[in-house]
Chain A
Amino acid sequence: MRAVLVRVALVGVVTLAGGGCRRDMQDAPRYDPYEVSTFFKDGRASRHLVAGTVARGQLHEDAAIYTGKSADGFVSALPFPLTHAVLDRGHERYDIYCSPCHDRVGTGAGMIVQRGYKPPPSLHEERLRKLPLGYFFDVMTNGFGVMPGYAPQVPEDDRWAIAAYIRALQRSQHASVDDVPPADRGALDAPAPGAPSGVKEAGHGAS
């Protein structure tokens, strides 16, 4: 009888103790991104890589791709073939990361500049039009003057795509009739879209 009582008591104690170990499944014993850590002194669960870490495929052997510079100075060509897709990508990334200051056509009157940031030079200045692509890649990577570097926000291939798009923007502001394929020149005489023609233009901008 006594042994039975001891067993019942033991089961009860183990059950109660086990109940104390309750863990809600919605909060698993792992860290979410950016979660507060009590283990690390700085309280960050998301850790910086240990200095000198090289991930597989990220040895960056070809310095020109990651710095925009070679032994002869800034490189002047893209490290990959220029395609329409690259320009479209550069266009999209330029609008996201550059247009807040440089504005969408590159004259340097973006919204943040209108709010008081020091204005950047126009990308269409003679000096900037003559600089090689690698220069723009370098400025995007490391910053220049008051412009911060964008390497943490924009990966290398996107920075190159943006550099290509900047060149396209520059050419767009200094294009001549010779740049238009002969077959398309007839279209130049057509009235520009949005030109006053008596037809009311459909508004589609943000109000």
Chain B
Amino acid sequence: MPQVFHRSTNTFSRVSIFGALFFIAAATYGLALINRSAYVTQAGVARAQPIQFSHRHHAGELGIDCRYCHTSVERTASAGVPPTQTCMNCHAQIWVDSPVLEPVRASYRTDTSIRWTRVHDLPDYVYFDHSIHVQKGVGCATCHGRVDQMNLTWQESSLQMEWCLDCHRNPERYVRPRAEVFDMAWEPPANQLDLGRELMRTYKIQRLTDCYTCHR
């Protein structure tokens, strides 16, 4: 009986078997890349806002402390979006004719909220609390990046679970002294790991990686 396939097709079959494995691996890797990309996480994408509020100007150039506006960041889960009154503390006298600030003045006159576009939005099945992170020495800039250098604000980190776990598994790499939490320009020292381990003892920081730490 004559052979159906010529001998040369053996090569095709060998290449296609290997090729299938390679294709599956490449597709998996590609999907993982896409899932971590800014296209999915929206990290690094500045959001349009009803008012062109610049953290760079207020926190960076003017040196206003984060807590002047985000008053509840040390006490509650939410850092606190300031009420229009807080804007008017200064803007009752500064830039009073600026058309850029008209939505602020309108909000104040008519007692209606400014509808900011939310930048950081965790899924509702994650319970995040700012106050405990601040108390344990996680700096604002550790998660939020150099907000004091952002004009329109963007989300610096992916906010994906592997990102949370990186720090929950290895807090010593990221924690800083409490007094430096709100210092946006603080850089980890050369002996960060020693400092971090010392702070973990002082602040009683645990490696919290149980599911129910965040999902409950």
Contact = CB atoms under 8 A, between A and B. Distances in A.
Contacts of B88: 148
B64 interface: yes
A111 interface: yes
A116 B93 contact: yes
A116 B124 contact: no
A31 to B, nearest CB: 10
Given A97-B68, A111-B62, A153-B68, A30 B124 contact: yes
A3 interface: no
A95 to B, nearest CB: 7
A112 B111 CA distance: 25
A27 interface: yes
Among A25, A36, A112, find the residue whose CB has the most chain B CB atoms closer than 10 A: A112
A33 B93 contact: no
A146 B115 contact: no
Given A43-B113, A112-B94, A148-B85, A100 B68 contact: yes
A44 interface: yes
Given A26-B124, A33-B78, A148-B85, A100 B64 contact: yes
Interface in A77-104: 95-97, 100
Nearest to A98: B68
Contacts of B44: none
Given A112-B62, A153-B68, A153-B71, A118 B93 contact: yes
Nearest to B81: A34
Given A96-B67, A96-B68, A112-B62, A146 B123 contact: no
Contacts, number: 67
A71 interface: no
A148 to B, nearest CB: 5
A33 B116 CA distance: 13
A115 B92 CA distance: 13
Contacts of B77: 33
Contacts of A112: 62, 90, 94
Interface in A114-158: 115-118, 146, 148, 152-154
Given A117-B94, A206-B185, A26 B85 contact: no
Contacts of B71: 152-154
8 contacts: A96-B67, A100-B62, A100-B90, A111-B62, A112-B62, A116-B93, A146-B93, A152-B85
Given A44-B113, A112-B90, 16 more contacts: A25-B124, A25-B125, A26-B123, A28-B124, A28-B125, A32-B121, A34-B81, A34-B113, A43-B113, A96-B68, A97-B68, A111-B64, A117-B94, A148-B92, A152-B86, A153-B86
